């Protein structure tokens, strides 16, 4: 049991908490927190306690409530990782390497090609931006040959276009790709550095750290970001390193520390990867769905629409399921070379409005049929809802017969708008049988609303008093 005390009454004064072993035997070396973290204590280990993580987080949540009003709807933007990975060869691949030029290009496209007006606002640098060495003051610094202007100048460039800058760091000895990590004693200086550069979003990974360091580090980074006075959205990879589920992950407490969190494996550029993510989230929806809401979001990872691994039908499916899951809409593609079909899917105003619905309730899988059709549902504001009919079949289009009553809709008359075809379905009584034709690995996505309502086109982040009308 460790005893941590501090003269600052806003910290964990006189609190006791258990710290678990990360190995079956032996002790774990825990760094003595420097005064720069507002903690002057040494944490000692005794025996593992099953409630250790929860107890520590309860104590932290009393002092670290990440309530800065950010991300009341899921974040939207663009991230480098899935499409551009750790390409640092700017000599042979200057257009695609991780450099300030790449992020300027994406900012230009987002500002000039209609993305910003739809709500896509974050340009997020992922791994491999750093120099291999911190500077003389112990601060992270960008690789000078690839970011000669520095991050602060890049942030100004992005801000001048009405966009926001995100950056990557790792809670560990090094990042996943081997660049300098953020150990416990570096948390405050790194938070201050990001704020001084004008960063608006931090993705905090967890490679090369143990569960104890993660248990301490993620709450302390949240606290350090708050202390900078700059509103910075905080994306945590912590749950993914703990298996993503209770009891290892306490989502009610995590929501006081992070704005969004990765729960599961990284997405890859394939339909198998997208299907695996959908399946995991659906199988575990009873644990995951209640955790989501305004300012706290489950993150199934990036949108890969416009890359190489999805057909048009599969791209529709990813967009539809991410919308119904209230997932972040963070693209990872090349905005300079998107084809028209990918652009149309990613810029679909109704799909975006469903994703950004202000009540922020994550949708659920209602049915998993033996014929490999699945039905998903999400409640929306203004008594509306969204239905997604997903085909897991691999043979041919399938005619699926059902009614709204079978999908738990109350008696009454409804209309539906097909999000991807733009067609309207009128005269739907809850008991009316209807048929949808679903392509293999594709979806039919409906916005459903009571008949007395109309469907109103609206901007990316609809206000509660507005409703969608055609």
By annotation, the residues acting in catalysis are 205, 266
State the burial class of residue 166 (Cβ atoms within 10 Å of its Cβ: 0-12, 13-18, 19+).
buried
Half-sphere exposure for 12 (CA within 13 Å, toward CB): 26
| Token pair of 43 as six digits | 């944490």
Contacts of residue 291, Cβ cutoff 8 Å, sequence gap at least 6: 251, 252, 254, 255, 298
| Token pair of 383 as six digits | 């008594």
Contact between residue 338 and residue 306 where contact means Cβ atoms under 8 Å apart: yes
State the burial class of residue 145 (Cβ atoms within 10 Å of its Cβ: 0-12, 13-18, 19+).
exposed
| Token pair of 31 as six digits | 């760094």
Separation of alpha carbons 235 and 225, rounded Å: 12
Helices (H), 124-268: 150-160, 187-197, 211-228, 238-241, 251-254
Contacts of residue 285, Cβ cutoff 8 Å, sequence gap at least 6: 362, 364, 365
In whole angstroms, how far apart are CA 188 and each of 183, 195, 205, 222, 319? 10, 11, 16, 10, 37
């Amino acid at each position: 049991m460790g005893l941590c005390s501090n003269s600052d009454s806003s910290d964990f004064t006189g609190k006791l908490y258990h710290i678990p072993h990360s190995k079956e035997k032996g002790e774990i070396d825990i760094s003595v927190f420097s005064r720069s973290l507002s903690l002057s204590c040494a944490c000692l280990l005794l025996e593992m306690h099953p409630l250790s993580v929860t107890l520590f987080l309860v104590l932290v949540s009393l002092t670290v409530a990440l309530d800065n009003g950010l991300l009341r709807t899921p974040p939207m933007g663009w991230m480098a990782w899935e499409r551009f990975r750790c390409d640092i060869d700017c000599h042979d691949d200057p257009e695609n390497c991780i450099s300030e030029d790449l992020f300027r290009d994406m900012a230009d496209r987002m500002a000039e090609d209609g993305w910003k007006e739809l709500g896509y606002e974050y340009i997020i640098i992922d791994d491999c931006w750093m120099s291999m060495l911190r500077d003389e003051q112990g601060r992270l610094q960008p690789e000078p040959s690839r970011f000669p202007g520095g991050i602060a100048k890049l942030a100004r460039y992005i801000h001048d276009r009405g966009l926001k800058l995100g950056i990557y760091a790792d809670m560990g000895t090094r990042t996943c790709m081997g660049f300098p990590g953020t150990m416990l004693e570096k948390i405050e200086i790194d938070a201050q550095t990001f704020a001084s550069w004008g960063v608006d979003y931090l993705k905090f990974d967890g490679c090369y750290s143990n569960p104890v360091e993660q248990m301490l580090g993620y709450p302390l980074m949240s606290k350090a970001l708050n202390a900078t006075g700059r509103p910075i959205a905080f994306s945590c990879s912590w749950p993914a390193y703990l298996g993503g589920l209770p009891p290892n992950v306490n989502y009610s407490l995590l929501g006081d520390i992070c704005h969004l969190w990765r729960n599961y494996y990284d997405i890859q550029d394939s339909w198998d990867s997208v299907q695996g993510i959908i399946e995991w989230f659906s199988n575990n929806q009873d644990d995951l769905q209640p955790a989501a809401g305004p300012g706290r979001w489950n993150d199934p990872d990036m949108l890969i629409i416009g890359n190489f691994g999805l057909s048009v039908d599969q791209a529709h499916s990813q967009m539809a399921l991410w919308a119904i899951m209230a997932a972040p809409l963070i693209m990872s593609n090349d905005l300079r070379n998107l084809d028209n079909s990918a652009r149309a899917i990613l810029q679909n105003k109704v799909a975006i409005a469903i994703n950004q619905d202000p009540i922020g309730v994550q949708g659920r899988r209602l049915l998993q049929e033996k014929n490999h059709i699945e039905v998903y549902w999400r409640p929306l504001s203004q008594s509306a809802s969204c239905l997604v009919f997903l085909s897991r079949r691999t043979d041919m289009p399938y005619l699926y017969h059902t009614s709204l009553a079978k999908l738990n809709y109350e008696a009454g008359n409804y209309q539906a708008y097909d999000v991807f075809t733009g067609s309207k379905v009128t005269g739907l009584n809850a008991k009316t049988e209807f048929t949808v034709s679903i392509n293999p690995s594709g979806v039919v996505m409906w916005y459903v609303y009571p008949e007395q309502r109309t469907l109103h086109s609206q901007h990316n982040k609809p206000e509660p008093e507005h409703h969608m009308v055609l």
